[in-house]
């Protein structure tokens, strides 16, 4: 019963470096999401994928790209990391689009120096 698995759990980058955050779910969910969590800001939606083959921008998409590789996997890429992207990133999935019951991974703590 793995649920939503994110890798890595921790990452430190230098400004300008690139990296990809990986996310996989084993619940056969159609929809997947990437959020960032910042102190005093709550969770903000970066991108989401309503179904395999589709992706859409959320509230704060600038500086990020996503790939819905298949039904299970949804990756988030930072092409040129900036200190403002220091945050905790959560991947989530749901059975269908705009569903209120989201299942979250345990998060990736990213620091950009």
Partner 1 sequence: GNSVTQMEGPVTLSEEAFLTINCTYTATGYPSLFWYVQYPGEGLQLLLKATKADDKGSNKGFEATYRKETTSFHLEKGSVQVSDSAVYFCALKTGANNLFFGTGTRLTVIP
Binding site for partner 1 (CB under 8 A): 4, 33, 40-45, 48, 58, 90, 92, 98, 100-107
Find out whether 55 and 47 touch, Cβ atoms under 8 Å: yes
User: What's the closest the beta carbon of residue 79 comes to partner 1, in angstroms?
Assistant: 24
C-alpha closest to that of 84 among 99, 100, 64? 64
C-alpha closest to that of 49 among 32, 71, 25, 27? 32
Q: Is 87 helix (H, G, I), strand (E, B) or coil?
A: strand
User: What's the closest the beta carbon of residue 17 comes to partner 1, in angstroms?
Assistant: 25
Cβ nearer to partner 1, comparing 47 with 81: 47
Cβ nearer to partner 1, comparing 13 with 34: 34
């Amino acid at each position: 019963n793995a649920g939503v698995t994110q890798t890595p759990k921790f990452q430190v980058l230098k400004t300008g470096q690139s990296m990809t955050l990986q996310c996989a779910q084993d619940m056969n969910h159609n929809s997947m999401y990437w959020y960032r969590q910042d102190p005093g800001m709550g969770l903000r939606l970066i991108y989401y994928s309503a179904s395999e083959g589709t992706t859409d921008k959320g509230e704060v998409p600038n500086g990020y790209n996503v790939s819905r590789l298949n039904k299970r996997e949804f990756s988030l890429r930072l092409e040129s990391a900036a200190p403002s992207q220091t945050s905790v990133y959560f991947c989530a999935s749901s059975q269908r689009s705009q569903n209120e019951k989201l299942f979250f991974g345990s998060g990736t703590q990213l620091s950009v120096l």
